Structure 1
């Protein structure tokens, strides 16, 4: 059975008349003439099926039906006002929810400062932070289960997503402390040719994986990968056991493990790109506000 349409203008007229109990004063307060006010009340009474006011010369009073309707009418109008205010706040980007995916290693670099800055300026926005590697972030952006991604080595060809670099980070060699190369200040990549490697699997971050294996290829060898691990914390822990060595973003230096040595590499020009990612046509105003917090204003960012 269809529910009757909620007569909001009629409810408004009803509440004002119930408060004034005078058609002239109620009409003036509503900014309308008395005949339209009387018509609104009659229409509402037709919907209810009972009179809401008793009308006697010089006196207007609520009927039992009117007294019963008044609290519900006030509640409906208050709920509408609150809803409109909340919609305006959300539409302006002052409230709402923003879902952010981030690569775990970025908790050691850009993420803390970004969240701190954003929360200072948008304390009413609820942030949903999700730790995800690059490939799942890209899928989540397409599936609209996150709004912003912070990832490494974004794909070169992508039509629906926008990317902007927020950090360019050098690589370091990750070595067991007992490894002979740990005694050096810097390590040439070719010196790692005879060591087994622990790396992230290509499936979770093909761009970063290819950058690392590309450094090895440029140095004249293919890395002998003996173990994969999804997170850099795990990679470093496996290196500490002596299982192998790795090449990693410099931010992994902040992972404090006694049995691991981090050394700069040569060539020192090798770097990994950290980017913010978003849907180009996303209407969520919070996306644009977070990009501003990152200091980004790319031409195709959402407005």
Structure 2
């Protein structure tokens, strides 16, 4: 047999009367007249099937059934109040969970300050941080597996996603410390005969094409002998003597033994870091994160 539902207004009236033990005082506390309060209590007693209060002239007391119901009624009202407060916090972007994908190299640049600032402004928000290269981030945004992406070289032609550039940086040559060119600035054409270590194109097609395009503009096609998904691994392989690479300048902060980072000429090319989001996402946390990245309203390209 189905349990009868207890309207919250009746439970509230019951709890107030149980605390006041006086119909007049309880009605005044609730801001209603005494007859409607009596009706609420009667309806609740009908649902329970037993009297909740013993009514005597000038005196109201809880019955055993009333004493049994009181703790559960208080818990129900408290749970409801907590649930409403939590829903309001999530709806306003003061609480909840925000899933952020980020390119590993950004841990060397904007990511720490961004997370620190956002955490200070919204301490009630749980940040779910996921290390991902650019292409998987784009897929995860479309699949709604993440809410925000921090990536390099956003793809062109995306209709559903918005992008805003938050950082640009030049490229550096990554060389074994014993390499003949490790002493100074590197002319890109000087790397024409060197084997290359690069990220696989599938990890970030735009960045891969930009790097190989720079080599083409310098008059050669890079001879790629090894791929690695993360820049730290790329640098480690360069340090092991497997080849050279071109990388964003922030990679210099890795400081691996046996690796030299040198300025490249021509030095006009730069790699972009962008924040990415779904344009139709109504999540207030996404808007707060975008405002934390930049004080300006989010661009909608």
Aligned length: 300
Counterparts in 2 of 1:5 and 1:283: CA distance versus 1, 3 Å:
farther
1:213-224 to structure 2, matched below 5 A, reads 213-224=212-223
- C-alpha distance in 2, partners of 1:297/1:88? 25
Match of 1:162 in 2: 162
- 8 Å CA contact 1:162–1:300 kept in 2: the answer is yes
Match of 1:188 in 2: 187
- 8 Å CA contact 2:291–2:298 kept in 1: the answer is no
Match of 1:268 in 2: 267
- 8 Å CA contact 2:173–2:245 kept in 1: the answer is yes
1:6-155 to structure 2, matched below 5 A, reads 6-155=6-155
Match of 1:236 in 2: 235
- Displacement of 1:41: 1.0
- Displacement of 1:229: 0.1
- 8 Å CA contact 2:54–2:60 kept in 1: the answer is yes
Q: Deviations over 1:145-204 (max 9, x none)?
A: 221111000111111111100001100111111212213x22122211111110000111
Q: Deviations over 1:271-293 (max 9, x none)?
A: 10000111112222121111111
Identify the range of structure 1 (19-28 vs 241-250) with the bigger mean alpha-carbon deviation: 19-28
- Displacement of 1:264: 1.0
Counterparts in 2 of 1:101 and 1:38: CA distance versus 1, 3 Å:
same
TM-score, reference length from structure 1: 0.94
Structure 1 residue ranges without an equivalent (≥5): none
- Displacement of 1:257: 1.6
Instruction: Classify the secondary structure of the residue corresponding to 2:136.
Output: helix
- 8 Å CA contact 2:174–2:259 kept in 1: the answer is yes
TM-score, reference length from structure 2: 0.95
- Displacement of 1:6: 3.9
- C-alpha distance in 1, partners of 2:256/2:56? 88
Which runs of structure 1 show a deviation greater than 4 angstroms over 4 or more consecutive aligned residues? none
Structure 2 residue ranges without an equivalent (≥5): none
- C-alpha distance in 1, partners of 2:210/2:295? 25
